[in-house]
Amino acid sequence: MRKILLSIVLFITILTAENLKTAIDSCELYNNMKHTKNTGKQTLKVGESYRVLDEKRGQYYVSVKGISVPNRWVDQNCFSQKSTTSTQTHNKPIAKADNTYIAKPQKQLLALSWQNAFCETHRYKKECKRARGAYTDTRFGLHGLWPQPRDNVYCNVSYEDKKRDKNHKWQQLPKLNLSDTTRKELLQVMPGSASHLQRHEWIKHGTCAGMSADEYYTQAISLTQQINRSRVGQFFAQNIGRTVTLQQVRFKMNESFGAGSGKKLELRCQKGLITEIWIHLGSQGDSMRELLKGGRDVSSRCRSGRIDRVGF
């Protein structure tokens, strides 16, 4: 009987240890999964371990000692993904800003906007009030390069910056440490820079990319330019004002980057207009052709759309 009890105690101890996670970011602790309430404005303490009670949709339900409403919901990416034991209370925290400890994601999603269509429904945006002749009048613009899975966001971002970002106060986010060349090219390929989109994209997505802000945007700019120089980019420029199909665009992807690459692309449409293309990539390599080999095949809800011309 004593052996059975010892076995049970040992099993519970092991199980409990496996459910401890170490915080690597001072994320907010919410009362609910929708993140609409945080009694007492509580946050995780970097380096401390928390017991995970449940796990759903990219979130942990954790136990927090010494606070009102002690069981809270928090994003999984706020923790080290290595299990710890009760005797292990400190893991090396992720470095801030240009962090060197976050592993590079295995998958990425490149989101490119067709700016003319975006501006049809966002006429109040600064970037939509510009004169004609911009780079993105006849080319794709950079929306973002997003580490996957989609909930891989806000890595080691402070509570204050995360709040500013979610409230669209992007002008209050920290300035990025970019080279003069990167900054100049970014202003060209990302018209949303006029609304500080580059700061938002870095805070939410780039901080999880396992590289510095300059490296992150150097890669994103290069991939955008590769698409615009490809037969896909040429096809869009030559068919402005016309309706094209997903099949046609995927065919141009195959012509540009090799058989099967078209299956990595999906169209995003609104009100009959193609607003974006999303390209699913791996992480090995620098060229579009290399990165597409590691991307996943995807379906596309939009099967056709019109390529909008500049102007309202």
With b for 16 or more beta-carbon neighbours within 10 A and e for fewer, the 116-129 pattern comes to: bbbbbeeeebebbe
Query: Which domain does 174 fall in, by range?
Result: 108-306
**Predicted local confidence at residue 1, as pLDDT:** 57
Count of domains forming the chain: 2
pTM over cut 0.85: no
Q: Would you say 191 and 138 are in contact if contact means Cβ atoms under 8 Å apart?
A: no
Q: Which of 17-31, 87-101, 118-132, 183-197 is predicted with the least confidence, judged by mean pLDDT?
A: 87-101
Take residue 97 and report the two structure tokens written for it.
Answer: 């800003």
- Tell which wins on pLDDT, 98 or 22: 22
Other Cβ atoms within 10 Å of 8 Cβ, number: 10
User: What is the secondary structure of 108-140 as a DSSP string?
Assistant: EEEEEE-HHHHHHS-TTSGGGSSPS--GGGSS-
Assess if residue 88 is contained within a domain: no
Share of the chain above pLDDT 90, in %: 60
State the average pLDDT for the chain: 86
pLDDT tens sequence across 54-64:
888 778 888 89
In a domain, 84, yes or no: no
Instruction: Give me the sign of the Cα torsion angle 156, 158, 159, 162.
Output: negative
Question: Which pLDDT belongs to residue 155?
Answer: 95
Residue 86 lies in a domain: no
| Cα 235 to Cα 38, 99, 223, 255, 301, distances in angstroms | 49, 39, 17, 11, 21
Q: How confident is the model at residue 65 (pLDDT cuts 50, 70, 90)?
A: confident
278-305 mean pLDDT: 95
* pLDDT for 216: 97
Same domain, residue pair 282 and 197: yes
- Report helix, strand and coil shares of the chain as percent, to nearest 5: 35, 20, 45
Domain contains 69: yes
Q: Is the CB of residue 236 less than 8 Å from the CB of residue 228?
A: no
Q: Which pLDDT tens digit goes with each residue over 150-170? A: 899 999 999 999 999 999 999
Tokens found for residue 194: 């006029």
What is the separation of C-alpha 148 from the centre of its chain, rounded to a whole number of angstroms? 7
Task: Find the CATH number of the domain harbouring 63.
Answer: 2.30.30
Average pLDDT over residues 139-159: 95
Residue with tokens 């290069």: 222
Q: Kindly state whether residue 100 falls inside one of the protein's structural domains.
A: no
In a domain, 50, yes or no: yes
What backbone phi and psi angles, to 5 degrees, belong to 36? -105, -10
| Mean pLDDT of all residues in 271-279 | 97
CATH number of residue 200's parent domain:
3.90.730.10
Residue 298, SS3 per DSSP: coil
Residue with the two structure tokens 């999303």: 278
- Domain check: are 219 and 128 in the same one? yes
Picking from 180, 200, 208, the residue whose alpha carbon sits closest to that of residue 98 is 208
Say yes or no: 20 and 149 in one domain: no
Check whether residue 205 and residue 297 sit in a common domain: yes
